[in-house]
A and B are shown apart, each in its own frame.
Chain A
Amino acid sequence: MLLALMGVALFAGWVSLASQQAGRMTIGDPAIPVIYVGILFAIHLAFVLTGRRMDQVLLPVTGMLGSLSLLLMARLPQGLAGLSLGGLDLGLAPLQLLWLSLALAVLAILAVAVRNDNWLREYKYTWAAVGIGLLLLVFVLPPAGAERIDAPRLSLRIGPITGQPSELLKVILVVFLAGYLAENRTLLARTSTRLGPVSLPPVPYLLPMLAMWGVALAIVIVQRDLGAALLFFTVFLTLLYVATRRFAYVVLGMAMFLVGATVLYQLFPHVRVRVDIWLDPWADPLGAGYQVIRGLYAFGRGGILGTGLGAGLPAVGDTPAIPAIHTDFVFAALAEELGMLGGLAIVALYAVIAERGLRIAARAADDFRALLAVGLTLVIVIQAALIIGGNLKLVPLTGITLPFISYGGSSLLANAIVIGLLLALSDRGVEPPPPPSSARRFRLPSRTPA
């Protein structure tokens, strides 16, 4: 039912866009929306046929975000991305459709196939190692794309395809944190070590987690990917709070964050530039602040109702009005054409994901599943908030994507994994978790990280 509504919205948007571009009423070339809606219904059918009793809202919401993405990509200059597959030159919108289809397939497979979670919960340290290894690969293999020395080293190139490992890393991090916290949360919640007025859990229990976090953060900082660092940190703190319900951890974490941020600001020019642009983009309107200011112009031009799909000014000819409009500034572009009301609706879609995710966590059968559901939800919601906030100059702008709307395969795939796992977790027919091993709670963790 919701899927059908979403399909109607996509077709309405498509016709509106095509008509605006052609200057007359037309439905344009309906291939892209037809294929996309077809895939979504097929997935839904698969869910029904396999007898899964999963969350009924997540798929349509995800589908709606994808629809917005397709509408935007069809509207932007097609030359922003390109890939030749056997003589077939694909532009921005067809490529995004390709990625979306792959992502939806991954989502469906995970949602249907994941019947138990032992492969996640039992091998958390293995996952952590895989994550770190993935990041290290970026340094071993030649960087993709721009060869600038100060550019973020985010990309990994395998054959013709480049990927961003930090997108996958965020999922792995959540799996590890959920596993570790579920196992040790009783101890972490207890006060054992006092450090002046601060009560800390036994140090050995904190170490592996902090180490994992520290390593991930350090590598991310070396990669110059501030957005991912912020995302990891926020998700980490929130999960810690959920697992222990100790607000002191959050305060401590914020303090650590402030100290770290100050040090980074002093030490690294790229951090300083980011913060300075945030504070006053007009100090350098044609240089560092250009992107942010162009984004704000787009918001201003949109106003309350927006200019209408296709009637905005995201591009002059083939030059996008905002650099990185198809990745970092999709929200500004959509808010220009759909207005504040449309923008709020997009925000509301993420709010729905948050609500569904937290609900799945509340219904979860044990701690691991609950923490995993919270973590996965946060990964999407916080990431959306960070980049939307960056577009709106509420927080410093970082180069992370808007889940399911930004162009890019890695981001779509990683977020599809997240939603796929959430769907699997929401399935009432899924295998019950293994009984808690009560013995383990009273001895040191049997596994320690390398």
Chain B
Amino acid sequence: MTAGGGIVSGDGAGGAGAAPSIGSALLRVGLALAVLFGGIGAGMGYWQVVEAQSLSTDPGNPLVQAAARNAPRGRILDVNGEVVAFNERGSSGERLRRYPFPAMTPVLGYQSMRFGTSGLERAYDAELTGLKPLGPGRDMMRKFLTDPYDPSDLHLSIDVRLQAAAASALGGDRGSVVAIEPATGRVLALVSNPTFDANRLVDPAGGADYLESLRGERSTPLLNRATQGRFVPGSVFKIVTATAGLGSGAIDPSTTYPTDEEYESGFLVEGFTIRDSPRSFQRDRPLDFFEATEVSSNIWFAHAALDTGADELLAWSERFGFGAALDFDLPTAASQVTGGDGPLSGFTDRVELANAAYGQGETLVTPLQMALVAACVANDGVMMRPHLVDRLESEDGRVQTVGSSELRTVMGAPDAEDITQAMVLAVEGEFGQVFAGSAKVQDATTAGKSGSAQVGETGRPHSWFIGFAPAEEPRIAIAVIVERAGFGSEVAVPMAGDLMSLYLDSAE
């Protein structure tokens, strides 16, 4: 009756012929299943512990969307405690977001039931709605609370007076101003002009029509020029070229260009002639780095870039953040030195490389990127992560401070010092005054570089200035661009001087 025998025992298997025993195979199947269950456990751990927070605060999460409708939302305040975003009850009782300062739109964005969120309202949505609690352990506590939300107020580093002053200085012109505290990376102003009225956009009644009209606007008010506008930089890019040249060792501050011959006929690069104008500032001998920066010699910087080489120029600009989106609270466009598909490490030829040296090749930059370049030189070559939020405060008094963090050391302190000295000459020197003297801040040594970026063959250039003050102990670094407004010295330079003065005066 039991001739089949036990499968587990070797006897049974042996009795059945050459077939192997099933028992040990079962053990392996069991082990395989154990591994399978382990994998499932690991998967659960990944989604429910590691990724839980980011999943729960994802803007697509229905819970987040429900919170946007129902939850109280934290306010946003500027550095002096001025409220720049708050809640109001709409006509039908729904919660409406209000924005008292129109100039703040490029920073704040909007929060609308219909169009979702943008700007800081998007970046800090989870904190504002309180889905992401400030204190550790609050997550667990919340399960026992009737009110699951714990909204926080945002306290910004932005000074709304500086922001508004910059916006009104731009007036009807298109352009952007970005100001940063060099030692910390705190953003003091971030202006894009023209912008739009976020109050009208979030209004349930006319919002959709308003958005439609904004979309059709030729001045592109929906574009945040400060972070996503890409402009030809012109001579302000010479600061990047100088950093690459000095940093790579290809040049030093005493390196002199050009030759006598080039004064007369221009510097010929593969059939393309680079000239300096106005000639009257050119001395009758070759220029060193300081003099070349003071008079903004294109020939000198073209030589410097060619000696530095395409690879080094690209590598050093990448240290500034070129070539990738910047690590920032708002979405940013990547700045570029070249269009990127030529045979010379991306440059089409030496002509393009020479032109890039003074920001006229295929070079395109965001105002935020150029403000960071200025701030980095000001901070002894160390770039701080730019940020808009100083701290978060929840209703029950919990505070979370957003500290300053170093992004990287872009250049050595001696190089930063040389460049600073050159930039001071460019504002305060005998010849520099003529270009950028109006950027000078009363009672403070001012460093800077103006630019007049040619766009296309005709028309007025973009008016640029980047700089910082006071040069010894910099407290504000700034980038100003006014589109198609004329030479740097005409528009951007005095505007930057006024804004830096305003900030330094008001802070005292």
List chain A positions with a Cβ less than 8 A from chain B.
Answer: 185-186, 189-190, 238, 241-245, 285, 293-294, 296-297, 299-305, 307-308, 311, 313, 316, 321, 335, 339-340, 343-344, 347-348, 350-351, 354-355, 358, 361-367, 370-371, 374, 378, 381, 385, 388-389, 392-394, 432-433, 435-436, 441
Contacts and interface: CB of A to CB of B under 8 A. Distances in A.
A385 B3 contact: no
Interface stretch (B26-34, B88-96, B233-241, B385-393): B26-34
Q: Give the most central of A294, A313, A340: most B CB within 10 Å.
A: A340
A433 B41 CA distance: 39
Nearest to B46: A392
A244 B21 CA distance: 9
27 contacts: A189-B19, A190-B18, A241-B29, A242-B29, A245-B20, A245-B25, A297-B61, A313-B66, A316-B66, A340-B44, A347-B37, A354-B37, A361-B7, A362-B26, A363-B8, A364-B7, A365-B2, A365-B7, A366-B4, A366-B5, A367-B4, A367-B16, A367-B19, A371-B22, A392-B46, A432-B2, A435-B3
A304 B47 CA distance: 10
B130 to A, nearest CB: 15
Contacts of B3: 435-436
Contacts of B5: 366
A299 B48 contact: yes
A180 B20 CA distance: 16
Contacts of B139: 303
Given A300-B53, A303-B139, A366-B7, 14 more contacts: A297-B60, A300-B47, A300-B52, A301-B56, A304-B49, A313-B62, A316-B62, A340-B48, A344-B44, A367-B22, A392-B40, A392-B43, A435-B4, A436-B4
A57 to B, nearest CB: 16
A363 B48 CA distance: 39
A189 B22 contact: no
A392 B25 contact: no
Nearest to B30: A358
A436 B30 contact: no
B63 interface: yes
Contacts of A432: 1-2, 4
Contacts of A296: 47, 51, 55
Contacts of A321: 62
Contact of A299 (B17, B22, B29, B55): B55
B16 A304 contact: no
B4 A433 contact: yes
In order of increasing CB-CB distance, the 4 nearest A-B pairs are A300-B55, A366-B4, A392-B43, A340-B48
A305 B143 contact: yes
A300 to B, nearest CB: 3
A385 B18 contact: no
B321 to A, nearest CB: 26
Nearest to B143: A308
B141 to A, nearest CB: 12
B44 A343 contact: yes
Given A243-B22, A347-B41, A432-B2, A354 B48 contact: no
A293 B48 contact: no
B45 A340 contact: yes
Contact of A241 (B23, B25, B40, B63): B25
B51 A300 contact: yes
B7 A394 contact: no
B402 interface: no
A277 to B, nearest CB: 15
Contacts, number: 167
Contacts of B277: none
A389 B21 CA distance: 32
A303 B52 contact: yes
A301 B23 CA distance: 43
Interface residues of B, number: 52
Contacts of B32: 238
B48 A355 contact: no
B1 A385 contact: no
A394 B49 contact: no
Contact of A347 (B29, B40, B53): B40
Contacts of A185: 19
Contacts of B60: 285, 293, 297
A385 B40 contact: yes
A186 B7 contact: no
A389 B19 contact: no
Contacts of B29: 238, 241-242, 358, 374, 378
Contact of A394 (B16, B19, B33, B39): B39
Contacts of A367: 4, 7, 16, 19, 22
A185 B18 CA distance: 9
Contacts of B143: 305, 307-308, 311
A389 B43 contact: yes
Contacts of A433: 4
Contacts of B61: 297, 300-301
Greatest chain B CB density within 10 A among A238, A350, A370, A435 is at: A370
Contact of A189 (B18, B37, B58): B18
Contacts of B37: 347-348, 350-351, 354, 385
A293 B58 CA distance: 11
B507 interface: no
A178 to B, nearest CB: 11
B26 A361 contact: yes
A306 to B, nearest CB: 9
B20 A303 contact: no
Contacts of A343: 44, 48
B18 A389 contact: no
Given A186-B19, A300-B47, A305-B143, A389 B40 contact: yes
B61 to A, nearest CB: 5
Given A242-B29, A313-B62, A189 B43 contact: no
A304 to B, nearest CB: 6
Contact of B56 (A300, A311, A335): A300
Contacts of A302: 48, 52
Given A245-B20, A300-B55, A339-B48, A365 B26 contact: no
Contacts of B55: 296-297, 299-301
B6 A297 contact: no
B26 A189 contact: no
B205 interface: no
B405 interface: no
Nearest to A381: B33
B344 interface: no
Nearest to B1: A432
Contacts of A245: 20-21, 24-25
Contacts of B39: 389, 394
Contacts of B26: 242, 358, 361-362, 370, 374
B36 interface: yes
A392 B2 contact: no
Contacts of A313: 62-63, 66
A243 B30 CA distance: 15
B54 interface: yes
Task: With a 10 A CB-CB cut-off, give which of B20, B28, B29, B55 has the most chain A CB atoms.
Answer: B29
Nearest to B7: A370
A432 B4 CA distance: 9
B49 A340 contact: yes
Contacts of A348: 37
| Residue from the set B4, B19, B48 with the largest chain A CB neighbour count within 10 Å | B48
Contact of A335 (B19, B22, B48): B48
B24 to A, nearest CB: 7
B125 to A, nearest CB: 15
A189 B16 CA distance: 12
A403 B63 CA distance: 29
B56 A436 contact: no
Contacts of B17: 186, 441
A349 B377 CA distance: 63
Nearest to A243: B22
A274 to B, nearest CB: 18
Contact of A392 (B21, B44, B63): B44
